[in-house]
Amino acid sequence: MAGNRIPKRAPSRGKAARHKGKRNKVGRKRGEHLTRKPEVLQGVGKPHTMRMSKSKIGGFNEWCQYSWALENIMGIKGSSAHWTTFGVDCHQIVEEYYRGMMECKTEEELLDYTAEYDYEGHPTIVIDEQMRTHMDNVLEIDRKRIDTLIAAGVNLLDYAAPVGVELYMKVPDGTNVKDGEISGMIDLVFRELDGTIGIYDLKTGKISDVNKHYFQLHLYKWMFEILNPDETVSKIGILWSKDGTVDIAEPNKRSYNSAIKKVQTTRDKIKLAVEEGTEDNPIAGFKKALRNPFPCSYCPIEHKRICWKEQYDVDLE
Ligand code: SF4
């Protein structure tokens, strides 16, 4: 991904009526077939060999193991917080934008499409001021990127259109992370100018340092290269939609190895916690958050209700 100069193009606003129910080039209605859908519980009942993912690993290690186990072992799904649904909506629009780019047949068509793309009037997503800020930032970043590619004189169909968007990956058993599958979804995959691959994650929340996301990015590199043995991921990065910046880094061996190791150590801890469960409470071995009220303040009410009843004998509404 590359980009330096901001092209002067009109902001994409005010075409709501024109876009209502509009179909794209391949006859799909806007918003159909987008991949970022609510998660389906996987692997309940096979705790230490369940399919892992970056969010399952992060949730177990960095949030509350008990809430994690209520969801992933007991199958009690927590409702989403507002900021989660906002993030999902942002991802859906970004996915729609890039999927449309992948369907372009000529460079001219691609340029017209990117210049005219308008997120207003989405049939299912509410476009408010916050959403406009994030989406304008994403489109501006992308227009800078395309300008850089034009300046480099490369074929835009090969380099501007992503290789993958919301790319779902599933690595089966039998790899060097033992005892179960692992899956993940890369937001954006691009062909870099040197022919290698760059993988990028879109973050709609708080801006931080790219190295705080090394686990996720190196894990995705590992998975992508297993599934595509002829490719090399040479760039990893985060696209921050809140302020329209992009952080790009080169993968490093240490973070790569530690990402793979973390998958296995998490599986081992889950296995141990399951073994400590009792007949009355199969998830008794999973620790409750010690940093109350954080992350308790973000705990889904379905989990908090159970937890508070056990811990304080309080019935929450
Ligand atoms: S209320 Fe706090 S300790 Fe209890 S399950 Fe939720 S996050 Fe964990």
pLDDT at 50: 79
Residue of 68, 297, 304 best suited for mutating to test ligand 1, as the one with most atoms within 8 Å of CB: 304
Closest approach atom of ligand 1 to CA 70: 5
Q: What is the pTM of this model?
A: 0.81
Q: Is cis: bond before 229, omega within 30 of 0?
A: no
CA of 47 to the centre of ligand 1 (A): 20
Query: What does the pLDDT look like over 172-189, one tens digit per residue?
Result: 877 766 667 889 999 999
pLDDT at 11: 39
pLDDT at 23: 42
What integer best gives the mean pLDDT of the chain?
Answer: 83
Q: Are 120 and 127 in contact (CB under 8 A)?
A: yes
pLDDT at 17: 36
Backbone dihedral angles phi then psi of residue 198, each to the nearest 5 degrees: -120, 135
pLDDT band with cut points at 50, 70 and 90 for residue 4: very low
pLDDT at 308: 87
Domain boundaries, the chain: 54-79+256-278+292-312, 81-251
Name which of 151, 164, 161 is nearest 107 in CA terms.
Answer: 161
Percentage of residues in the chain having pLDDT higher than 70: 80
Percentage of residues in the chain having pLDDT higher than 90: 54
pLDDT at 230: 96
CA of 112 to the centre of ligand 1 (A): 50
Q: 48-52, 153-157, 304-308: which range is least confident on average?
A: 48-52
Residue 253 to residue 248: CA distance in whole angstroms: 16
pLDDT at 277: 87
CA of 292 to the centre of ligand 1 (A): 8
Tell me the average pLDDT across 247-252.
97
Cβ atoms within 10 A of the Cβ of 24, count? 16
Architecture of the domain made up of 81-251:
Alpha-Beta Complex (3.90)
Residue of 72, 79, 288, 312 best suited for mutating to test ligand 1, as the one with most atoms within 8 Å of CB: 288
pLDDT band with cut points at 50, 70 and 90 for residue 309: confident
- Ligand 1 site residues, Cβ closer than 6 angstroms: 64, 66-67, 288-289, 292, 295-296, 299, 303-304, 307
Query: What does the pLDDT look like over 179-231, one tens digit per residue?
Result: 678 899 999 999 999 999 999 999 999 899 999 999 999 999 999 999 999 99
